Amino acid sequence: MEVFINQLVYFGFFLSLFLLVVYLCSAKNRKNSNGYMVFLIFVLFLGLLGRVLYTTKVFGENFRLITISEFAILLFGSTVYLFTKSSLTNQRFMTKDLVHYVPGIAYILFVTFYFIVPTNEVIVARIQQGELYAVVNVLVAIGLTVNGTYWGLSLKQFLSYREKLKNELSYAVKTQFFLNFLMAIGVCLLVWIAVYGMSLFGLETFERDARKFIWLAIAFIILFIAYYGMIAPEVFKIELLHLPQRKYSQSKLDSEDLNALKVKLEQMMVAKKPYLNSKLMKAELAQMLGVSNPDLARLLNERIGMNFFDFVNYYRIKEFIALAETHKAKELTFFGLAQEAGFNSKTTFNKSFKNLMGTAPSEYFLKTIK
């Protein structure tokens, strides 16, 4: 088991080094890539560096070498957060972002002067007095707290972005990478918490064996990044959809205006069928209605009770049901009919249909053509 884990750690280490060389040696990659992702790879590389130097004994059997990996601890969570934030808000590096790295720099300085600089005699004395063990426990607690907090902020940023999409778009945007990415990091944090818990409850033997899985978790994240770098390299670029940041306060419609606008909107949806445009955006529908984006947002929220995504797909479902009663039902599959109704995603269609009709579209389709 030890050999297997070490091999995976070595593989993750050299893979991270390879990715860094690819990103840094290519002018095109440096220009288009999200710098925070590149720095995250460097942090992961640093996290494995101490382990690799110690186990390979390149510089002898010096226990201080493994301490190098500690440098990455408080740089990790902040970089994950900044990568997520910059990707979802189209926001590149800003000087004020450096404040997130202040705890990490302070942590590195403390680790250097407490674990690396002192002589062997001082370290041994601290171990015998129990001081070093207590300090390590405090540092681990700090690391878990800071990284857990940044992970929570990253997840909140992602969920907020995904909710905003539903208020601006009538179609689904692929955001699976960020969900998988954050879930993978969450699992790694749980492993770290489990190992720390073993240490606190005096399960030293189990803790020593389980500690190896922390290194394995770091290697796993590197493999995860490399995998998505091959199948979906666009997720590492700051090119995601920019969402307008407008508030309801910009809308000056009164109650009567909203009621009249609701009637006009419903008539337009029936007469012009804008929902047949599979890439319909709220801004486009607002322009057709002759109102501002915030006015339409307020109308949907206060008079219709739906976000833009659900509102448009409601009409698409109605269109699908109408098509299912025509001759096209004999020529097309149920998803073919859904595409005719304006859907461009089978997953979105199935989910929207089930939410509205309480049954799977395939079941409804089979009943309709009988």
pLDDT surpasses 80 at 368: no
272 and 332 share a domain? yes
Final residue belonging to a domain, choices 214, 236, 258: 236
Inside any domain, residue 80: yes
Question: 277 pLDDT band (50/70/90 cuts)?
Answer: very high
In this prediction the pTM is: 0.78
What is the SS3 assignment for 33? strand
59 and 127 share a domain? yes
pLDDT surpasses 70 at 296: yes
Inside any domain, residue 123: yes
Contacts of 44 (CB under 8 A, 6+ apart): 12, 16, 72, 76, 218, 221, 222, 225
CATH code of the domain in which 93 resides: 1.20.1070.10
pLDDT tens track for 2-32? 777 778 888 999 999 998 888 878 776 666 6
311 and 364 share a domain? yes
What average pLDDT is seen over the chain? 84
Between 7-16, 151-160, 207-216, 348-357, the lowest mean confidence (pLDDT) is in 207-216
Final residue belonging to a domain, choices 205, 236, 267: 236
* Closest by CA position to 145, among listed 135, 153, 157, 155: 153
In the chain, the number of structural domains is: 2
347 and 213 share a domain? no
CB-based burial label for 353 (10 Å; 0-12, 13-18, 19+): buried
* Closest by CA position to 88, among listed 235, 246, 240: 240
318 and 354 share a domain? yes
CATH code of the domain in which 291 resides: 1.10.10.60
231 and 260 share a domain? no
Instruction: Report residue 239 as tokens.
Output: 């090119």
Angle at alpha carbon of residue 26, lines to 24 and 27, rounded to 5°: 100
Inside any domain, residue 241: no
187 and 304 share a domain? no
Final residue belonging to a domain, choices 236, 263, 280: 236
Residue 211: what are its φ and ψ, rounded to 5°?
-60, -30
Inside any domain, residue 242: no
Q: Which domain holds residue 85?
A: 2-236
Inside any domain, residue 245: no
pLDDT tens track for 159-171? 988 888 888 888 7
14 and 99 share a domain? yes
Contacts of 325 (CB under 8 A, 6+ apart): 368
